[in-house]
């Protein structure tokens, strides 16, 4: 296990091409050899307030290089663990092809990317893009067995249809709940007014959702919150960056005050990674153009890298 700076280059974080974590780029999706496959999904035509999540994949990739000091793994002194040792193969697939003015075409390309990752046996990690990109992600799991969805988000995103719109960023959890292989949803962080009206909440509960606000989650504490999620399940995590407080995640389309702080989400993710099998991840709604200090992209990268560390530590990576 060698640090890269021991062999030739110091490779400071600000140096080099911005793939995710400076990991290898593999544009040939039929040749993926990876434990984790990163896919950008730069689609933002599903937004109802600010767009800009199309630059999310590039922004998160660049921020992820801040955590690349050339070490062979990421040492955490609190856990006394070195996460993500060199044995965990992370590969950057690049982006799904997006076709402007064409929601269905763009979604289909995202779906194809997730299917390619699954086919290669890799954990698909999709960086949005707005939350509508979750729709094709979930579709791609139709031959993977049952999954439970853990959504961390400010908004319920459970609108069925309005003015003909069924695939915008207010619809994905409804679309997911309709899938026979989605056995349930845990929706955490939900708060304030959104595009989902009262009836959407009733529908969600009727279709198997457990809805928990930020204040409810805080009152429960991490352990009791984890107890609300099925143990040992195959979990798909969809993380909307606006689940976080705008103080640390301003760079998003529809910010909502009263969100989670860093460790609240991190500890939830660590707990889920320890107790369940994580089968897919998307992180959406990062809009770098509303993030003048870089706080949001750094947060997204930091959370993703930690989550991947937790997942593979639970899988016994060394």
CB of 285 to its own copies, least distance (A): 14
Q: What are phi and psi of 151, to 5 degrees?
A: -105, 130
157: left (phi over 0), alpha (psi -120 to 50) or beta: left
As measured in angstroms, the least distance from the Cβ of 73 to its own copies is 8
- Element containing residue 311 per DSSP (H, E): helix 295-314
Would the annotation count 257 as a binding residue? no
Q: How far is the CB of 301 from its own copies (least distance, A)?
A: 10
Residue 80 labelled as part of a binding site: no
Site for its own copies in 212-271 (CB under 8 A): 213, 215-216, 245-248, 250-251, 254-258, 261-263, 266
Q: Please select the residue that binds its own copies; options are 12, 31, 224, 227, rule is CB under 8 A.
A: 12
CA 133 – CA 118 distance, rounded (Å): 17
Nearer to its own copies, 132 or 151 (CB): 132
To its own copies, the closest distance from the beta carbon of 199 in angstroms equals 9
Our measurement of the distance from residue 300's CA atom to the centroid of its chain's CA atoms, rounded to an integer in Å, reads 8
| Residue 153 is assigned to a ligand binding site | yes
For 166, 221, 243, the CA distances from 212, given in Å and listed in that order, are 24, 12, 12
Candidate segments 46-54, 143-151, 232-240, 269-277, binder of its own copies by CB under 8 A: 46-54
Residue 16 is encoded by which pair of tokens?
């080099």
* Of 14 and 180, CB closest to its own copies: 14
291 binds its own copies (CB under 8 A): yes
> Are 42 and 98 in contact, with CB atoms under 8 Å apart?
yes
d(CA 153, CA 283): 10
* Contact region with its own copies (CB under 8 A), list: 144-152, 235-243, 278-286, 293-301: 293-301
Nearer to its own copies, 164 or 180 (CB): 164
Among 31, 49, 274, 318, binds its own copies (CB under 8 A): 49
Using CB under 8 A, pick the residue from 30, 143, 193, 206 that binds its own copies.
Answer: 193
- Could you tell me the two tokens for 19? 């793939």
Q: Is 87 in the site for its own copies (CB under 8 A)?
A: no
Quick one: which segment of 73-81, 114-122, 175-183, 269-277 binds its own copies (CB under 8 A)? 73-81
Query: Is residue 299 at the binding interface for its own copies, with CB under 8 A as the rule?
Result: yes
Shortest gap between Cβ of 9 and its own copies (angstroms)? 4
CA–CA gap between residue 153 and residue 238 (Å, rounded): 8
* 130-189 residues near its own copies, rule: CB under 8 A: 132, 156, 162-165, 167-169
Q: E-strand spans in 4-66?
A: 36-41
**Under rule CB under 8 A, which residues in 98-127 are in contact with its own copies?**
98-103, 105
Q: Is 157 labeled as ligand-binding?
A: yes
Query: Contacts for 255-264 with beta carbons within 8 Å, 24 or more apart?
Result: 256/154, 256/155, 256/191, 256/192, 256/194, 257/192, 258/191, 258/192, 258/214, 258/215, 259/154, 259/189, 259/191, 259/214, 260/152, 260/189, 260/214, 260/217, 262/299, 262/303, 264/217, 264/218, 264/222
What residues form the annotated binding site for Mn(2+)? 131, 153, 155, 157, 240, 242
């Amino acid at each position: 296990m060698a640090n890269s700076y021991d062999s030739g280059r110091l490779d400071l974080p600000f140096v080099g091409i911005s793939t995710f974590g400076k990991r290898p780029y593999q544009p040939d999706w039929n040749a993926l050899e990876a434990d984790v496959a990163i896919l950008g999904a730069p689609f933002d035509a599903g937004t109802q307030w600010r767009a800009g999540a199309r630059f999310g994949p590039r922004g998160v990739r660049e921020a992820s290089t801040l955590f690349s000091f050339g070490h062979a793994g990421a040492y955490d002194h609190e856990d006394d663990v070195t996460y993500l040792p060199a044995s965990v193969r992370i590969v950057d697939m690049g982006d799904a092809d997006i076709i402007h003015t064409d929601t269905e075409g763009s979604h289909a390309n995202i779906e194809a990317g997730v299917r390619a990752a699954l086919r290669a046996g890799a954990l698909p990690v999709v960086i949005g893009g707005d939350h509508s990109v979750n729709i094709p992600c979930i579709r791609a799991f139709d031959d993977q067995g049952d999954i439970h969805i853990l959504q961390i988000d400010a908004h319920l995103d459970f609108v069925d249809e309005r003015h003909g719109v069924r695939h915008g960023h207010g619809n994905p959890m409804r679309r997911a709940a309709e899938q026979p292989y989605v056995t349930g949803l845990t929706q955490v962080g939900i708060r304030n007014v959104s595009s989902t009206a009262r009836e959407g909440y009733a529908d969600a509960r009727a279709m198997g959702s457990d809805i928990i606000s930020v204040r409810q989650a805080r009152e429960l504490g991490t352990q009791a919150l984890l107890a609300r999620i099925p143990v040992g399940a195959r979990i798909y995590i969809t993380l909307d960056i606006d689940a976080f407080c705008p103080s640390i995640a301003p760079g998003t389309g529809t910010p909502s005050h009263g969100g989670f702080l860093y460790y609240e989400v991190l500890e939830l993710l660590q707990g889920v990674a320890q107790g369940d099998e994580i089968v897919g991840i998307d992180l959406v709604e990062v809009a770098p153009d509303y993030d003048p200090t870089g706080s949001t992209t750094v947060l997204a990268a930091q959370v993703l890298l930690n989550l991947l560390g937790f997942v593979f530590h639970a899988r016994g990576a060394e």
